[in-house]
Amino acid sequence: MNEKEKAPVLELLIQTDPAKTVELEGAGGKVRMIPFTGTAEGPLFHGIIEPCGVDTQVTNAANVRHMSARYMLTGEDHTGTPCRIYVQNEAWFEGGARPVPWHSVPVFMTDSEALAPVLHRNCFIGEGIRDSEGLHIRFYEAAP
């Protein structure tokens, strides 16, 4: 079974405000910082994306884009216990544009005793798709 046949561990709906995006362009490339918020749902957790989230996209002179999104989720784990999850999600794209869907490598950190044994294993794959609602990101446990 591949990751796409599995149910996601966590699904995010990202909301951005284009007016708050900050950009820099120079001889070495381009940097775009995109702040965001949103919601997080899944069988292990439900909550919100705190408004401190930012997606930093750096496109170098060779037109390779590195995306690094870092954000904090606040909500409840599947036992009903309040908790937080820190997410660092990394991806690289050639040719400047993102493929559809695009894939990433997330790393999680949590203060939830119930979620730590799962999320701290660092064996996940992310998938992102944009539609009229916003950006949907799904995290799947990678096959062993």
The H-assigned helical ranges of 10-136 are 116-119
For position 2, what pLDDT does the model report?
46
* Other C-beta atoms lying within 10 Å of the C-beta of residue 43: 11
- Nearest Cα to Cα of residue 49 among 7, 104, 18, 86: 86
Q: pLDDT tens-digit profile of 72-108?
A: 999 999 999 999 999 999 999 887 667 788 999 999 9
Domains located in the chain, CATH noted: 3-141 (2.40.160.20)
Asked if residue 144 has pLDDT above 70, the reply is no
Q: Phi/psi of residue 79, each to 5°?
A: -90, -5
For position 134, what pLDDT does the model report?
87
Q: How is residue 99 written in tokens?
A: 């493929």
